[in-house]
Amino acid sequence: MTALLEVRDLRVTFTTPRGSVRAVDSLGFTVGAGRTLGIVGESGSGKSVTSLAVMGLHRGAEIGGSVALDGRELTGLSERELSRLRGRKMAMIFQDPLSSLHPYYTVGEQIAEHFRVHFKAGRSAARKRAVDMLGEVGIPEPARRAGEYPHQFSGGMRQRAMIAMALACEPDLLIADEPTTALDVTVQAQILELIARLQQDRGLGVVLITHDLGVVARVAHEVLVMYGGRAAEQAPVEQLFAEPAHPYTRGLLDSLPRLDDADDAPLRAIPGSPPSLLTPAPGCAFAPRCPEAAARCTGERPELQPYGEGPARTVACHFAGAGAPAEVTR
Amino acid sequence: MTAAPQALLSVRDLTMTFPGRRSATGRRGAPVRAVDGVSFDLGEGETLGLVGESGCGKSTTGRMLVRLLEPTAGSVEFDGRDISRLSQGALRPLRRHIQMVFQDPHSSLNPRQTVARIVSDPLLVQGWTAADARRRAAELMELVGLIPEHIDRYPHEFSGGQAQRIGIARSLATSPRLIVADEPVSALDVSVQAQIVNLMERLRRELGLAYVFIAHDLSVVKRVSDRVAVMYLGRIVEIGEKHLLYDDPQHPYTRALLSAVPLPDPAAERRRERIVLLGDPPSPAAPPPGCTFHPRCPKVQEICRTERPLLRVAASREVACHFPGD
């Protein structure tokens, strides 16, 4: 069985006045139909650049490696071919819904346009399907709200409208880049529930990009942790949280204040801050902040290698896996 | 309200009404009551967490506490003295005791000033000499975990976490007794947030500071606070000792808020019973009648639609609900 989305050895390079920047390097992952991959990382980890590269929206960047959707190679496609796939086969939602909703058109018109473009639907048929779609994402009185403009919607409603627009033409893959970061926590809960329901109903593959480990724990099946433009580790969600293999993942989990935490000891913070991509380290990008770093870590970059039993887990750390001193101390 | 005899800060019926926004035709909209009768006490060395969603009035409350905004009604007593109506001149000697830390460290630091200037500015206002102020600024840098030799650098030369340390150093310059921190870690990377939380806790222990810690992140607030106040649409709906409030929330909004926070634990997430509220928080320009939470409340009764519940004691904390608990 081929995966819905298969990314191999992805490299994204930007040319800047201060030199070329490799924002993503040697990245690989797969997403199956009906599965959610959570990509976790901090600012500069390359998680958003990855999603834009998959969609072919990386303006001005140089792409290497392979991105295959349903077995079809996307790198090297013309803009014309890509725009036929975007919306129809794969769609994307963003943190800020106003970035994808046009202020001059009603919400209904904007959704209807997708049917008209991709399915050559007539005006009234397209409008009817737009209203149905708004209803499906939980917007009350969809027929009336379809005639309103984005500024008349609340933040949560705009996010629903953007999801309606993204899913209008029944794509197979949905990429969600921090879809709930700007929302209040009670509204975030609604939107996460909505994405999960639509995924179940439609067998969607979802890539969810976030900095919030709680969100990942709630909705993801598999997790990819990124640091400094590369994969630090990949694992099924239960295994990642129960037994994190990379010191960075362990550090992140340890540094979180938790609601279900009774003790009031100081948080175990990770010293320093995320690395700059302008001056990449020759060794492991996490080495300067890693409590377990040895001489080898600053000189030699660790490759992704299998971890534990089964093919599901990989980790990029010299001291994870075979006979390493990486005793899990959680 | 059981006023502690020696409350450092005593807030009573604090209210802020903003005039309605002027539309394109010049007509004013309805006035917005952003904060509506907030009362609480804060003891010396104590931390009160102020939580709530966007538009609940938590930041406006914070700004009134430091008098960046003048309240339309109510009082703020600091050390027994009402500062809510003092003139700017009369306020100045008191300002050194009450300082503020902001959310976005880079936008709250002047990019054209060196750290030395930023941190010593509050001291110069208080009449220190330039040499003394500079010496004190270097001490403060060390105190907040920065390298004192970097004192002549500019804000852009520091990372987000370091810049927030500068903001904290500035707030400590005048040896305040109270710091109002408005979302001090929410603009920072996850791995850096813990550093700043630990720093603020250490400073509190070493300097005996009291904090009003304003945040939307309930996990962070639980970590730093002694007591927590939950706000909804300009009012406190529940306030009490943090473990009581987090372990056994009495207001249905507090319950929903806590159950909505995703836990970084997939197994716990699957076991959890979640209360998903319908709709969004209503606009403070047109608050619903009765209990303002009633349109979203899963256990709403008839009385909730008409009668506003007042804060009263239930299960060892104060709750504004006609039917607290189950």
Q: Tens of pLDDT along A18-61?
A: 888 999 999 999 999 999 999 999 988 999 999 999 999 888 89
Confirm or reject contact between A78 and chain B (CB < 8 A). Answer: no
Residues of A in contact with B189 (CB under 8 A): 42-43, 211, 273-274
Do the chains contact at A266 and B198, CB–CB below 8 Å? yes
B2: in domain: no
- Closest approach of chain A CAs to the CA of B23, in angstroms? 14
Chain B contacts in chain A segment 155-184 (CB below 8 A) = 155-157, 184
Q: Tens of pLDDT along B198-229?
A: 999 999 999 999 999 999 999 999 999 999 99
Mean pLDDT of B98-124: 93
- Closest approach of chain A CAs to the CA of B148, in angstroms? 17
What's the confidence (pLDDT) of residue A327? 45
| Whether residue B204 sits in one domain with residue B161 | no
The alpha carbon dihedral of B157, B159, B161, B167 has a sign of positive
B1: in domain: no
- Record the pTM: 0.90
Mean pLDDT of B116-129: 93
Contact of A87 with A118, CB cutoff 8 Å: yes
Give the whole-angstrom CA distance, residue B98 versus residue B6. 17
Q: What residue in A sits closest to B263 (Cα-Cα)?
A: A214
| Whether residue B126 sits in one domain with residue B84 | no
Task: Count Cβ atoms within 10 A of the Cβ of residue A30 and give its class: 0-12 exposed, 13-18 middle, 19 or more buried.
Answer: middle
- What is the torsion angle, in degrees rounded to the nearest 10, for the CA atoms of residue B248, residue B253, residue B258 and residue B261? 170
Confirm or reject contact between B263 and chain A (CB < 8 A). Answer: yes
Residues of B in contact with A155 (CB under 8 A): 280
| Whether residue B287 sits in one domain with residue B235 | yes
Give the whole-angstrom CA distance, residue A96 versus residue A178. 9
Q: Tens of pLDDT along B255-308?
A: 999 999 999 999 998 888 888 888 888 888 889 999 999 999 999 999 999 999
Confirm or reject contact between B276 and chain A (CB < 8 A). Answer: yes
Mean pLDDT of B135-151: 95
Structure tokens at B243: 């473990």
Query: CATH code at B243?
Result: 3.40.50.300
b/e code B98-128 from CB counts within 10 Å (16+ = b) = bbbbbbebbebbeeeebbbbbbbbbbeeeeb
Q: What residue in B sits closest to A155 (Cα-Cα)?
A: B280
Task: Count Cβ atoms within 10 A of the Cβ of residue A118 and give its class: 0-12 exposed, 13-18 middle, 19 or more buried.
Answer: middle
Among residues B175, B190, B208, which one ends one of the domains?
Answer: B175
Q: Look at residue B1 and tell me whether its pLDDT is greater than 50.
A: no
CA-based Rg of chain A, rounded to a whole angstrom?
A: 21
- Closest approach of chain A CAs to the CA of B240, in angstroms? 16
The rounded percent of chain A whose pLDDT value lies above 90 is 68
What's the confidence (pLDDT) of residue B105? 85
Give the whole-angstrom CA distance, residue A142 versus residue A28. 40
Do the chains contact at A184 and B159, CB–CB below 8 Å? no
Mean pLDDT of B124-152: 94
Mean pLDDT of chain A: 90
| Whether residue B156 sits in one domain with residue B295 | no
B129: in domain: yes
Instruction: Count CB atoms within 10 A of the CB of residue A67.
Output: 21
| Whether residue B254 sits in one domain with residue B164 | no
Residue B271: partners with Cβ closer than 8 Å, 6 or more residues away: none
Among B205, B200, B216, smallest CA distance to B99 is for B200
| Whether residue B251 sits in one domain with residue B194 | yes
Cβ contacts below 8 Å, chain A against chain B, sum to 135
- Give the Å distances, CA to CA, from A43 to A62, A320, B159, B192: 20, 25, 12, 11
Q: Which domain holds residue B307?
A: 7-20+29-97+176-319
| Whether residue B302 sits in one domain with residue B234 | yes
- How many alpha carbons fall within 13 Å on the CB side of residue A202? 21
Q: Tens of pLDDT along A111-157?
A: 999 889 888 889 999 999 999 999 989 898 999 999 999 999 988 89
B215: in domain: yes
Among residues B175, B210, B236, which one ends one of the domains?
Answer: B175
Distance, CA of B158 to chain centre? 25
Among residues B137, B157, B175, which one ends one of the domains?
Answer: B175
Give the whole-angstrom CA distance, residue A62 versus residue A96. 26
- Closest approach of chain A CAs to the CA of B186, in angstroms? 11
Do the chains contact at A273 and B159, CB–CB below 8 Å? yes
Give the whole-angstrom CA distance, residue A262 versus residue B222. 10
| Whether residue B182 sits in one domain with residue B140 | no
Contact of B222 with B242, CB cutoff 8 Å: yes
Mean pLDDT of chain B: 92
Do the chains contact at B263 and A154, CB–CB below 8 Å? no
- Closest approach of chain B CAs to the CA of A182, in angstroms? 10
In chain B, the number of structural domains is 2
B221: in domain: yes
| Whether residue B207 sits in one domain with residue B299 | yes
Confirm or reject contact between A33 and chain B (CB < 8 A). Answer: no
Q: Mutate one of A152, A195, A260 to test the B interface: name it (highest B CB count within 10 A).
A: A260
**Can you spell out the DSSP letters for A56-119?**
T--TT-EEEEEEEETTEE-TT--HHHHHHHBTTTEEEE-S-GGGTS-TTS-HHHHHHHHHHHHH
Contact of B133 with B155, CB cutoff 8 Å: no
Helix B115-125 × helix B160-172 angle, to 10°: 20
| Whether residue B224 sits in one domain with residue B139 | no
Structure tokens at A131: 């209203």
Among B233, B248, B256, B229, smallest CA distance to B318 is for B229
The rounded percent of chain B whose pLDDT value lies above 70 is 98
Q: Mutate one of A151, A184, A216 to test the B interface: name it (highest B CB count within 10 A).
A: A184
Q: Tens of pLDDT along A177-217?
A: 999 988 889 889 999 999 999 999 999 999 999 999 999 99
Confirm or reject contact between B261 and chain A (CB < 8 A). Answer: yes
What's the confidence (pLDDT) of residue A323? 41
Beta bridge partners of A315: A233, A305
Q: Look at residue A1 and tell me whether its pLDDT is greater than 70.
A: no
Q: What is the ipTM of this complex?
A: 0.86
- Closest approach of chain B CAs to the CA of A74, in angstroms? 32
| Whether residue B287 sits in one domain with residue B240 | yes
Of A155, A217, A242, the CB nearest to B262: A217
Mean pLDDT of B19-24: 78
- Give the Å distances, CA to CA, from B192 to A146, A244, B162, B195, B197: 42, 19, 9, 5, 9
Among A161, A117, A102, smallest CA distance to A135 is for A161
Confirm or reject contact between B3 and chain A (CB < 8 A). Answer: no
Contact of A90 with A69, CB cutoff 8 Å: yes
B308: in domain: yes
What's the confidence (pLDDT) of residue B144? 95
Give the whole-angstrom CA distance, residue B165 versus residue B142. 10
Give the whole-angstrom CA distance, residue B71 versus residue B14. 7
- Closest approach of chain A CAs to the CA of B29, in angstroms? 16
Q: Mutate one of B251, B265, B283 to test the A interface: name it (highest A CB count within 10 A).
A: B265
Strand residues in B89-163 grouped as ranges (E): 98-101
Q: What residue in B sits closest to A40 (Cα-Cα)?
A: B190
B232: in domain: yes
What's the confidence (pLDDT) of residue A263? 61
Strand residues in chain A grouped as ranges (E): 5-16, 19-31, 36-40, 62-69, 72-73, 90-93, 173-177, 205-210, 222-227, 230-236, 305-306, 314-315
Q: Mutate one of A181, A256, A264, A276 to test the B interface: name it (highest B CB count within 10 A).
A: A256
What's the confidence (pLDDT) of residue A325? 43
Q: Which of B104-113, B177-186, B315-324 has the lowest mean pLDDT?
A: B104-113
Q: Look at residue A324 and tell me whether its pLDDT is greater than 50.
A: no
Q: Look at residue B250 and tell me whether its pLDDT is greater than 90.
A: yes
What's the confidence (pLDDT) of residue A321? 60
B325: in domain: no
Q: What residue in A sits closest to B277 (Cα-Cα)?
A: A186
What's the confidence (pLDDT) of residue B5? 56
Give the whole-angstrom CA distance, residue A299 versus residue B308. 66
The rounded percent of chain B whose pLDDT value lies above 90 is 80
Q: Which of A187-196, A256-265, A268-277, B8-17 has the lowest mean pLDDT?
A: A256-265
Chain B contacts in chain A segment 180-219 (CB below 8 A) = 184-190, 192-193, 211-218
Residues of A in contact with B162 (CB under 8 A): 273
Confirm or reject contact between B23 and chain A (CB < 8 A). Answer: no
| Whether residue B191 sits in one domain with residue B54 | yes
